């Protein structure tokens, strides 16, 4: 499983960004997918997850109502739509995959994409 994130960047507070995670092995539909983030000096935080069917999702309280995770129709890409961004959303965002939707230790990881939100 190879995961490649894209879509990060520098935005202002209140702006939106959409992160993408592309999987190239052809086994995308076997895995639950998640987005994690890590800010400087902080532990990695699980932001959102979606099951392999794209039906069940969960979100960290800090992003509920602002972020939306979904699996693309094409079948090999996952997205994180981030609206009303805040400076505290600044972090490196990682895409991850695991066979277990409820896993707390996802097995496969992307390289990360930087999101910076200025005030």
Confidence of residue 16 (pLDDT cuts 50, 70, 90): very high
Other CB atoms within 10 Å distance of the CB of residue 51: 16
Joined tokens for residue 117? 């939100």
Please tell me the predicted confidence (pLDDT) of residue 104.
80
CB 37, CB 94: distance < 8 Å: yes
- The DSSP bridge pattern shows strands 32-38 and 77-82 to be unpaired
Confidence of residue 12 (pLDDT cuts 50, 70, 90): very high
Quick one: which of 83, 84, 90, 56 has its CA closest to 70? 56
What angle (nearest 5°) sits at the alpha carbon of residue 76, between those of residues 71 and 81? 35
**pLDDT digit string, tens, across residues 51-107:** 999 999 999 999 999 999 999 877 799 999 999 999 999 999 999 999 999 888 899
């Amino acid at each position: 499983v190879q995961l490649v994130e894209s879509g990060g960047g520098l935005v202002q507070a209140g702006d939106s960004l959409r992160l993408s995670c592309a999987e190239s092995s052809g086994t995308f539909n076997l895995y639950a997918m998640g987005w994690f983030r890590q800010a400087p000096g902080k532990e990695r935080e699980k932001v959102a997850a979606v099951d392999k069917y794209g039906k069940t999702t969960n979100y960290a309280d800090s992003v509920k109502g602002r972020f939306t995770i979904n699996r693309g129709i094409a079948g090999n890409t996952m997205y994180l739509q981030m609206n009303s961004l805040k400076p505290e959303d600044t972090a490196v965002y990682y895409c991850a995959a695991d066979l277990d939707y409820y896993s707390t230790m996802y097995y496969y990881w992307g390289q990360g994409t930087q999101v910076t939100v200025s005030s």
